[in-house]
Chain A
Amino acid sequence: MTGPLLEVEELRVGFSSDRGVVQAVEDVSLELDEGELVCIVGESGCGKSVTALTIMGLTRSPTTRIEGSVRYEGSELLDAPESQLRAVRGPGIAIVFQEPVTSLNPVQRVGPQIAEQIRAHTTLDKAETRQQVIESMRRLGIPQPEQRWYAYPHELSGGMCQRVMIAMAMSCSPRLLIADECTTALDVTIQAQILLQLRSLCDDHGIGVLLITHDLGVVAEVADRVVVLYNGRVVEQGTVRSIFEDPQHPYTWGLLGSMPRLDRPRREQLLTIPGAPPEPGTAGGGCSFLARCPHAFDRCLEEPPLAPVPGASARESARCWLTPDERRHLRMVGGDIGLAPAGDIG
C-alpha cells in the first residue's frame, strides 16, 4: 500500500448546544503509518478524545459539526455512509476506551461480547467464533480464558476488563488501534504490562496504534511519533526523540518541566505553566497558548501556522512565532527541561 494508513487533515469538530457552538477540535492534522505508534498528548479539554472518537465516526449526531478530512487507507470516512463505517469499525479501526469496566455491557458475559463483533464481521460459526475469542483472550494474557468467557465485567478487575476490551478490539485483526487513555484508570504495574502489549502489536503484527494520553511518561516509553494538542489545535508534532530532546513549542517545554521525575533531585521547583488549561472552544484571537505563555510577544496576537521545523525531518512541525534560534535560547533560560542525552532508542 502506498500512503499512510490514516490521514487526518484540518479536522474541526463543534458541538452545538443551547449556549452556542463549542468548538472542541479547531485544527488537527496527523498521519499514521502501519506498524507505527503515534501518541496524541494534551491536557483535559484539548480535544484529544474528541479527535479519536471522530476518526471512528462516533461523534456523529445532528448537533455535531464536523469539517476537514479523515482518510483510512485512502478512503474518506467523514462523509461515508453508516454501512461503510460499520464495515471499517472492527476489522479496520478498533478502539479501546479509558474506563474498561463501564465500557463493557454490564448484563452480558464477556465472552459473548467479544464474539458479537466477530459474528458481525465474519461468517464463522458459533464454535469457530468461540475458539477465536478464547484464542485472542489467551494472547492478551488473560488467564483461564475458557472460564473467563462466562464472567460478567463486574466480576473482573479493571486491568482484566481492559484486557478484555483489547482482546475485543483485536478480535477482527484491525489494522489501526485507537487507545483512548486506555491505561489511565489502571495501576502502574498493570499499565506497564498493557503498554508492553500495545508496543508489541506494532512491532510484531504491524498494526498502527494511535495512543491518546495526558502522560508524557507513557509517551516516552512507547511512542514513535508524538502530536501535542492544546485547545483543539496541534501545537507541535515530531518524532519521540525530537519531542523529548529538542521540543519546539513553549507548551511542550511546560509540560515536560511540570512532571516530577524519578531521575531529578527531590523538592526541586517544578517548571510550571501559569493558569489552567482553557475550556474547550474558548480560543480567542491569536495564538491559543498566548495567555499562559511566558515568552509571548506582540506577533503572538496573530495565530501562528503549523510550520515545519527547519532542518528537521518531514512530519516535524510547530505552531509558534519564535525562531528556532530563539527557541533554543529560551528553552535553556527557562530551565533544563530534561534534555538529558538519550540512550539508544530503537
Chain B
Amino acid sequence: MARYIARRLVSSLVVLFLVSVFTFLIFQVIPNGSPALRIAGRGASPATLAAVVKEWGFNQPLYVQYADMMEKIFTGSVVSYSGNINVLGQLRAGLPATVSLAVGASVIWLSGAIVIGVISSRRIGGTVDRLMGVLASVSISVPVYVIGAVALYFLAYKVSIFPNGGYVPISQSFFGWLDHMILPWLCLSVGFIGLYSRVLRSSIIETEGEDFVRTAKAKGLTKRRILVHHVLRTSMIPIISLWGLDFAGVIGGGAILIETLFNLQGVGQYAAESIGLLDIPPIMVIVMYGTFFVVLLTTAVDILHAFAEPRVRLQV
C-alpha cells in the first residue's frame, strides 16, 4: 500500500510539473507580441510597461523566467496590473463562496444520485426507471446557465422565494448564507444528478449479477444488507472517482457560469471578470491553482480508491 501511494504521488508530481510548464508556455511564450504588454493590460503607460518587463524578467532567458514566474505564483506576490490588487488576496476573498458552492452542491448531487440510482435499479425497465432515464437525459443536456437563468426568473424574480443572487458569508449569517446558496446548489447539481444516477444504476445492475452477490443471498442476509454492504459498496467506486474529478473541477474554476449568474463573488466569477478585462495575472494564477487542485484531489481519490478496492494496489 505504501508503495502504491508513493508511486501515485511521484506520478502526480510529474503531472504538476508538466502543467506548470504548459501554463507558462501558453501565457508567456506562445502568443505573439510582448507578454509584458498583455500583463500590463491595454493602454498601460510606457513606464508601467518598463516596470513590468523588469519585474517579470522578460529580458531574461526562458528557464529563468519560468523559475521567476513559479516563485511569484507560489509566494503569492502576483499583482493584477489593471487594478493593482494582489491576486492571492482576491482569491482568498472568493474562496469561501466557491467552496460553499462546491461542497453543498456535491452533497446534494451525491445523495440525490444515490437515491435516484438505487430506486431506478430496483425495477429495471419499470415506469419509474424509464421516467428517471428521460429526466436524466434532459438534465444532462440542458446547459447549466439556462437552468440557472430560468430558476432565477421564476423563483427569484417572478415569485421572490429566493434572493436574486449575491453571497452572504456563513460567519455573518447562517440562514442568509443558506438562503443565498440553495438555488445555485440545486442548479449546479441537476446535471450531475442526472449523470451520476445513471452511472450508479448501471453499476448496481452490473454488480448484482456478480457471483459474490449470489453468495451473499445464499448466506441468508436481508435484502437491505446485501444492497448496502455488498452491492452499493462496490457500485459506488465509479461514482467516487467521478466525484473527485467534478468536485475539483468546480473549485478550480468550473463554476464560472453559475457564480457569475448568481453573482456569488467566488473564484469563478473573479476569473470571468479577469477574462473580460484581459487581465492576465489573475487568470494565470487561477489556472495554475485550479489545475494543481484537480491533480491533488484526483490523487487523493485514487488513494482512497485503493483502500476501497484492494485489487487496484496490484496494478499500476
- B130 CB to nearest A CB, Å: 16
When the two chains form their complex, are residues A107 and B234 in contact, meaning their CB atoms are under 8 A apart? yes
- B243 CB to nearest A CB, Å: 18
When the two chains form their complex, are residues B311 and A106 in contact, meaning their CB atoms are under 8 A apart? yes
User: Chain B residues with Cβ under 8 A from A124's Cβ?
Assistant: none
Which residue in B221, B229, B311 is a CB contact (below 8 Å) of A86?
B221
When the two chains form their complex, are residues B218 and A107 in contact, meaning their CB atoms are under 8 A apart? no
Instruction: Given A116-B229, A154-B311, A154-B314, decide whether A121 and B220 contact each other with a Cβ distance below 8 A.
Output: yes
When the two chains form their complex, are residues B310 and A120 in contact, meaning their CB atoms are under 8 A apart? no
Cβ < 8 Å to A, chain B residues 213-239: 214-223, 225, 229-230, 233-234
When the two chains form their complex, are residues B212 and A105 in contact, meaning their CB atoms are under 8 A apart? yes
The answer, yes or no, to whether B138 is at the interface (CB within 8 Å) is no
The answer, yes or no, to whether B206 is at the interface (CB within 8 Å) is no
When the two chains form their complex, are residues A117 and B234 in contact, meaning their CB atoms are under 8 A apart? no
User: Chain B residues with Cβ under 8 A from A152's Cβ?
Assistant: 310-311
Instruction: Given A82-B223, A154-B311, decide whether A104 and B212 contact each other with a Cβ distance below 8 A.
Output: yes
Please measure, in the bound complex, the distance between the C-alpha atom of A85 and the C-alpha atom of B223, giving whole angstroms.
Answer: 12
Please measure, in the bound complex, the distance between the C-alpha atom of A165 and the C-alpha atom of B233, giving whole angstroms.
Answer: 21
The answer, yes or no, to whether B71 is at the interface (CB within 8 Å) is no
The answer, yes or no, to whether A99 is at the interface (CB within 8 Å) is yes
When the two chains form their complex, are residues B215 and A86 in contact, meaning their CB atoms are under 8 A apart? no
When the two chains form their complex, are residues A103 and B211 in contact, meaning their CB atoms are under 8 A apart? yes
Please measure, in the bound complex, the distance between the C-alpha atom of A105 and the C-alpha atom of B311, giving whole angstroms.
Answer: 11
Instruction: Given A97-B215, A152-B310, decide whether A120 and B233 contact each other with a Cβ distance below 8 A.
Output: no
When the two chains form their complex, are residues B212 and A102 in contact, meaning their CB atoms are under 8 A apart? yes
User: Chain A residues with Cβ under 8 A from B211's Cβ?
Assistant: 97, 99, 102-103
- Closest chain B residue to A89, Cβ basis: B220
- B199 CB to nearest A CB, Å: 18
- B214 CB to nearest A CB, Å: 6
Please measure, in the bound complex, the distance between the C-alpha atom of A152 and the C-alpha atom of B223, giving whole angstroms.
Answer: 24
When the two chains form their complex, are residues A58 and B212 in contact, meaning their CB atoms are under 8 A apart? no
When the two chains form their complex, are residues B222 and A86 in contact, meaning their CB atoms are under 8 A apart? yes
Interface of A is mostly: mixed
The answer, yes or no, to whether B13 is at the interface (CB within 8 Å) is no
- A144 CB to nearest B CB, Å: 19
Cβ < 8 Å to A, chain B residues 229-259: 229-230, 233-234
When the two chains form their complex, are residues B219 and A117 in contact, meaning their CB atoms are under 8 A apart? yes
When the two chains form their complex, are residues B217 and A89 in contact, meaning their CB atoms are under 8 A apart? yes
- B95 CB to nearest A CB, Å: 35
User: Chain B residues with Cβ under 8 A from A160's Cβ?
Assistant: none
Instruction: Given A97-B214, A105-B216, A107-B234, decide whether A120 and B221 contact each other with a Cβ distance below 8 A.
Output: yes
- Closest chain B residue to A60, Cβ basis: B217
User: Chain A residues with Cβ under 8 A from B310's Cβ?
Assistant: 106-107, 152, 154-155
User: Chain A residues with Cβ under 8 A from B314's Cβ?
Assistant: 154
Report how many residues on chain B are interfacial, defined by Cβ distance under 8 Å. 23
Cβ < 8 Å to B, chain A residues 135-177: 152, 154-155, 165, 168
The answer, yes or no, to whether B128 is at the interface (CB within 8 Å) is no
User: Chain A residues with Cβ under 8 A from B212's Cβ?
Assistant: 102-106
The answer, yes or no, to whether A208 is at the interface (CB within 8 Å) is no
User: Chain A residues with Cβ under 8 A from B55's Cβ?
Assistant: none
Please measure, in the bound complex, the distance between the C-alpha atom of A86 and the C-alpha atom of B216, giving whole angstroms.
Answer: 11
When the two chains form their complex, are residues B217 and A58 in contact, meaning their CB atoms are under 8 A apart? yes
Please measure, in the bound complex, the distance between the C-alpha atom of A99 and the C-alpha atom of B309, giving whole angstroms.
Answer: 20
Please measure, in the bound complex, the distance between the C-alpha atom of A120 and the C-alpha atom of B225, giving whole angstroms.
Answer: 10
Please measure, in the bound complex, the distance between the C-alpha atom of A168 and the C-alpha atom of B220, giving whole angstroms.
Answer: 12
Interface of B is mostly: helix
Please measure, in the bound complex, the distance between the C-alpha atom of A203 and the C-alpha atom of B296, giving whole angstroms.
Answer: 60
The answer, yes or no, to whether A94 is at the interface (CB within 8 Å) is yes
- Closest chain A residue to B234, Cβ basis: A107
When the two chains form their complex, are residues A88 and B311 in contact, meaning their CB atoms are under 8 A apart? no
User: Chain B residues with Cβ under 8 A from A47's Cβ?
Assistant: none
Please measure, in the bound complex, the distance between the C-alpha atom of A102 and the C-alpha atom of B214, giving whole angstroms.
Answer: 10
When the two chains form their complex, are residues A94 and B218 in contact, meaning their CB atoms are under 8 A apart? yes
The answer, yes or no, to whether A91 is at the interface (CB within 8 Å) is yes
- Closest chain A residue to B216, Cβ basis: A105
Please measure, in the bound complex, the distance between the C-alpha atom of A89 and the C-alpha atom of B215, giving whole angstroms.
Answer: 10
When the two chains form their complex, are residues B219 and A120 in contact, meaning their CB atoms are under 8 A apart? yes
The answer, yes or no, to whether B67 is at the interface (CB within 8 Å) is no
- Closest chain B residue to A155, Cβ basis: B310
The answer, yes or no, to whether A257 is at the interface (CB within 8 Å) is no
Please measure, in the bound complex, the distance between the C-alpha atom of A95 and the C-alpha atom of B216, giving whole angstroms.
Answer: 11
Please measure, in the bound complex, the distance between the C-alpha atom of A106 and the C-alpha atom of B221, giving whole angstroms.
Answer: 18
User: Chain A residues with Cβ under 8 A from B216's Cβ?
Assistant: 105
The answer, yes or no, to whether A87 is at the interface (CB within 8 Å) is yes
- A137 CB to nearest B CB, Å: 16
The answer, yes or no, to whether A56 is at the interface (CB within 8 Å) is yes
Cβ < 8 Å to A, chain B residues 10-69: none
Please measure, in the bound complex, the distance between the C-alpha atom of A58 and the C-alpha atom of B215, giving whole angstroms.
Answer: 10
The answer, yes or no, to whether A90 is at the interface (CB within 8 Å) is yes
User: Chain B residues with Cβ under 8 A from A87's Cβ?
Assistant: 220
Residues of chain A whose beta carbon lies under 8 Å from any beta carbon of chain B: 53, 56, 58, 82, 85-91, 94-95, 97, 99, 102-108, 116-117, 120-121, 152, 154-155, 165, 168
Of the A-B pairs whose beta carbons lie under 8 Å apart in the complex, a sample of 10, sorted by A's number, is A53-B214, A89-B220, A94-B218, A106-B309, A106-B310, A107-B309, A117-B221, A121-B220, A154-B310, A154-B311
In the A-B complex, list the 9 residue pairs whose CB atoms are closest, starting with the nearest.
Answer: A89-B220, A90-B220, A117-B219, A102-B211, A105-B212, A103-B211, A152-B310, A86-B220, A95-B218
Residues of chain B whose beta carbon lies under 8 Å from any beta carbon of chain A: 210-212, 214-223, 225, 229-230, 233-234, 308-311, 314
Given contacts A53-B214, A103-B212, A106-B212, 6 further A-B contacts (CB under 8 A): A56-B218, A58-B218, A86-B222, A102-B210, A105-B215, A107-B310
